[in-house]
């Protein structure tokens, strides 16, 4: 299982498509920085099918005022949770 | 306990990458893992600018990295090729290139790309923060 890390908003970058195409069936996706916009509203639809495997960095949601809008199925993790995700994955892949 | 390395390719204050990387680095150390090195590459080398003087009410990233090195013994490795072409020189390189003054000082160290390969081979996890 790999942890994919995405720091770009689906609204401004198409790199999320490459991340999704590269993901295996058990891989996880963590949204960080502007990537957390993908956990909110219509942009969340870009990641349909990842329920239970889609994570968002809590601090980055809060910094952008998006925490109250985060889709319920997105797993919110603080930076300690980020570290835990890297522990559980064999490797990490960063998309930017 | 696992061995971690961080690759940082974002300049300070240009993108969030350096903030994210430093926050992650602190969390890795707090968790009890061994952070074997932070490698600064591409525009990430600007994190080693010893003359950085951000406003006092903003996070001082250069000092933050130095504190990480002091508190946890984390090597701060800066790609020498990326650094020199961006005007980031330690005393030795400044002398070698006939430049007055220097812009990189310990705990940051100018080093080669081979060190990044070494980190990747030695560590259990290598986490990249891009711009």
Domains and CATH numbers, chain B: 3-129 (3.40.1260.10)
CB A32 within 8 A of CB A5: yes
What region, left, alpha or beta, does residue B68 occupy, with left being phi > 0 and alpha being psi -120 to 50 degrees? Answer: alpha
CB A63 within 8 A of CB A37: no
Average pLDDT over residues B72-99: 98
* Chain B residues close to A59, C-beta within 8 Å: 23
Catalytic site residue B123?
A: no
pLDDT confidence of residue A86: 98
Residue ranges with strand state E in chain A: 2-6, 28-31, 54-57, 75-77, 91-95
Average pLDDT over residues B45-59: 97
Question: Chain A to chain B, count of Cβ pairs less than 8 Å apart?
Answer: 48
- Percent of chain A topping pLDDT 70: 100
Average pLDDT over residues B86-104: 98
Query: What number does CATH give the domain A2-95?
Result: 3.40.1260.10
A92 and B125: CB-CB below 8 Å?
A: yes
Tell me the two tokens of residue B51: 């003359």
The ipTM assigned to this model is 0.97
Report, in angstroms and rounded to the nearest whole number, the Rg of chain A calculated over CA atoms.
12
Average pLDDT over residues A70-80: 98
- For B89, list phi and psi in degrees, rounded to 5: -130, 140
Nearest CA in chain A to B129: A94
A29 pLDDT band, cuts 50/70/90, is very high
A32 near B CB under 8 A: yes
* Chain A residues close to B24, C-beta within 8 Å: 79, 82-83
* Chain B residues close to A91, C-beta within 8 Å: 125-126
pLDDT confidence of residue B85: 97
Per-domain residue ranges of chain A:
2-95
Catalytic-labelled residue, pool B17, B38, B79, B110: B79
C-alpha B74/C-alpha B91 separation (Å) is: 21
B48 pLDDT band, cuts 50/70/90, is very high
A45 pLDDT band, cuts 50/70/90, is very high
pTM of full prediction above 0.90 = yes
Q: Provide the mean pLDDT of chain B.
A: 98
């Amino acid at each position: 299982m790999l942890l994919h890390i995405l720091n770009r908003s689906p609204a401004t970058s198409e790199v999320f498509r490459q991340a999704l195409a590269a993901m295996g069936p058990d891989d996880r996706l963590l949204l960080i920085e502007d990537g957390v916009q993908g956990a909110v509203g219509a942009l969340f639809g870009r990641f349909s099918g990842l329920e239970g495997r889609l994570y968002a960095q809590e601090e980055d949601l809060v910094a952008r005022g998006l925490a109250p809008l985060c889709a319920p199925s997105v797993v919110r993790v603080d930076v300690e949770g980020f570290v835990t995700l890297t522990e559980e994955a064999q490797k990490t892949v960063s998309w930017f | 306990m696992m061995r971690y390395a961080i690759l940082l390719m974002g300049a300070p204050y240009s993108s969030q990458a350096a903030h994210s990387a430093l926050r992650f680095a602190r969390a890795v150390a707090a968790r009890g893992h061994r952070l074997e090195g932070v490698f600064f590459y591409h525009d990430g080398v600007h994190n080693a600018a010893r003359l950085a003087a951000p406003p006092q009410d903003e996070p001082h990233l250069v000092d933050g990295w130095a504190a990480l090195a002091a508190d946890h013994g984390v090597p701060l490795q800066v790609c020498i090729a990326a650094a020199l072409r961006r005007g980031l020189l330690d005393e030795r390189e400044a002398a070698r290139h006939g430049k007055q003054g220097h812009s990189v000082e310990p705990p940051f160290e100018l080093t080669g790309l081979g060190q990044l390969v070494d980190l990747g081979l030695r560590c259990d996890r290598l986490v990249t923060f891009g711009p």
